[in-house]
Structure 1
Amino acid sequence: MKSSRNDLSRCHWCSADPIYQAYHDQEWGVPEYDAQRLFEKLLLDGFQAGLSWITILKKRERYRQVYQGFDAQFMAAQTDADLQELMLDPGIIRNRLKVHAARQNARAWLALAEQTDPAAWLWQFVGGQPLINHFAVHAEVPAITTEAQAMSKALKQAGFSFVGPTICYAFMQATGMVMDHTLDCFRHAELAGGAATVKQQ
């Protein structure tokens, strides 16, 4: 029932916003192995830099529209004129560096895909399996880890931008590479117990 859903104990960062709660309950920390979805999440975390995640979450559908479902081929082929037009769209973050970085990252993604499976390549930084943490409170959750630093360095070497260690760790948390729901959150027991399933939105 709706009332019981609202009464659930969630992570400290999750507000009462229904969109945020749905994201927390259904997506965050759930292992994601689909390359296309990983590409989308990596770019969205880059767009978040300097902003709140809920801001990006509320613009996600518009991003999916303008990028044709985060089609890397489409994004990589965008012209400077296309990007300038995107800068006029109020439905996305109109930051020139981020708009241009998205095209750059799409090209880097395609180059990576020619050499290896991008999903497996990203998951290698956690050994191919989710790292299950058991933090009691939000203050214990790190912003950067050695795994995130390694991913950031490798992504930059592969030609990506907006992939600093903090962004990479947020990406790892979002995609379930690390499971950072705190012990007081109802999702911790579900995900730590191996009940995680990929939920498409």
Structure 2
Amino acid sequence: METFIAPDGEPRCRWAGSAPEFLGYHDTEWGFPVVDDRRLLEKISLEGFQSGLSWRTILAKRENFRTAFAGFDFHAIADFADDDVRRLVSNAGIVRHRGKIEAVINNARRAVELEREAGSLAAYFWRFEPDPSEVDPPQSVSTSPASVTLSKDLKKRGWKFVGPTTAFAFMQAMGLINDHATECSTRTLVRAARTAVTPPR
């Protein structure tokens, strides 16, 4: 069964019922199209932090991450120095993994370069939106040809912790694909939101 019945009597993706905090995230964020550069940088950063951990752990610490990383303003993060790395490694409110912390700083610097080239992160990332005919059935895969292509391109540009699985989770969450279960009531809302938003190209 791909769905469960939420408290309002409507079906939702089954994973949204596996933790109390997931339903709100599922209903208001996951899969809705995002064209805000800070949110895009935040999500791909948090997906990197999630590697080896659960999304529940990351979601519980998200506000701490936002505070620690300057609201994911990549221009500000790009100026972080060794003192900032030491500060972040000692911050018990986030995941204190030096490699992942340094990756966010590195990726922020690469994001500044990418903004200069593409105009915005949104303009870059939305280039990788797959044709609907190329999308697998909802929640049936953990990578896709589009996520592999995105991952390879980011790595070529010097980004870190952006493997195909991370790229796919990012694409799911940021609305580059609508991966809500077929019977999920939120799927229709996401479809309408995707129609209403014209991402920069």
TM-score tier by shorter-chain length is 0.7 to 0.9
- Which whole-Å deviations, capped at 9, do the CAs of 1:12-70 have from their partners, x for residues lacking one? 22235332111000000101111221111111111111111111111110111111111
TM-score (norm 1): 0.86
Structure 2: which amino acid aligns with 1:173?
Q
Q: Secondary structure of the equivalent of 1:97?
A: helix
Task: Decide whether aligned partners of structure 1 residues 169 and 162 sit closer, same or farther in structure 2, where only a CA change above 3 A counts.
Answer: same
Q: Secondary structure of the equivalent of 1:10?
A: strand
Match of 2:141 in 1: 142
Structure 1: which amino acid aligns with 2:27?
D
Q: How does 1:1-201 map to 2 (within 5 A)?
A: 5-117=7-119, 118-126=121-129, 135=137, 138=139, 141-192=140-191, 194-195=192-193
Task: Decide whether aligned partners of structure 1 residues 115 and 183 sit closer, same or farther in structure 2, where only a CA change above 3 A counts.
Answer: same
The root-mean-square deviation of aligned C-alpha atoms, in Å, is: 2.3
Structure 2: which amino acid aligns with 1:114?
R
- Which whole-Å deviations, capped at 9, do the CAs of 1:61-104 have from their partners, x for residues lacking one? 01111111111122111111221121111110011110111111
- Which whole-Å deviations, capped at 9, do the CAs of 1:99-130 have from their partners, x for residues lacking one? 11111111110111111122111100116x87
Q: Secondary structure of the equivalent of 1:33?
A: coil
CA contact (8 A) 1:47 1:98 kept: yes
CA contact (8 A) 1:131 1:179 kept: no
Task: Decide whether aligned partners of structure 1 residues 144 and 16 sit closer, same or farther in structure 2, where only a CA change above 3 A counts.
Answer: closer
Structure 1: which amino acid aligns with 2:50?
Q
Structure 1 runs not aligned, ≥5 long: none
Question: In 2, Cα distance between the equivalents of 1:157 and 1:180?
Answer: 27
TM-score (norm 2): 0.86
Task: Decide whether aligned partners of structure 1 residues 164 and 180 sit closer, same or farther in structure 2, where only a CA change above 3 A counts.
Answer: same
Percent identical among aligned pairs is: 39
Structure 2 runs not aligned, ≥5 long: none
